[in-house]
Amino acid sequence: MSIYKLLQYCCTCAVYTVSLPALSATNSSISLEFGADSNSGQNSYASGRHKFDNKLQLSASRAKNQVIDSNGSSFDSESYNVGLKTDPSALFSAGIDKSNIQQTDNLDIDSTILTLEMNSLDWNIFISPEWRRVSLNTNISTRNYDFDSNGNSVGIGYYGWDPVFLSWSRSRYEYPSQIRTFNSRSNVYSYVFGSNTVNQVFALEDERTTFTAGYFFSHTSLSLSHSRGRSAADQSISIINKAYLAHRISEQWTLKTTIGRSSIDGSNTSTTFASLGMSYHW
| Cα–Cα distance measured from residue 164 to residue 241, given in angstroms and rounded to the nearest whole number | 19
In this structure, what are the phi and psi dihedrals at residue 109, rounded to the nearest 5 degrees? -120, 115
| Cα–Cα distance measured from residue 231 to residue 214, given in angstroms and rounded to the nearest whole number | 28
| Cα–Cα distance measured from residue 246 to residue 225, given in angstroms and rounded to the nearest whole number | 14
Q: What is the CATH code of the structural domain delimited by 2-281?
A: 2.40.160.40
| Cα–Cα distance measured from residue 254 to residue 32, given in angstroms and rounded to the nearest whole number | 11
In the chain, the percentage of residues whose pLDDT exceeds 70 is 81
Residue-wise pLDDT tens digits, 45-95:
999 999 998 889 999 999 998 876 656 667 788 999 999 999 988 999 999
Contacts of 61 (CB under 8 A, 6+ apart): 13, 45, 46, 47, 48, 80, 81
Residue-wise pLDDT tens digits, 150-183:
999 999 999 999 999 999 999 999 999 888 777 6
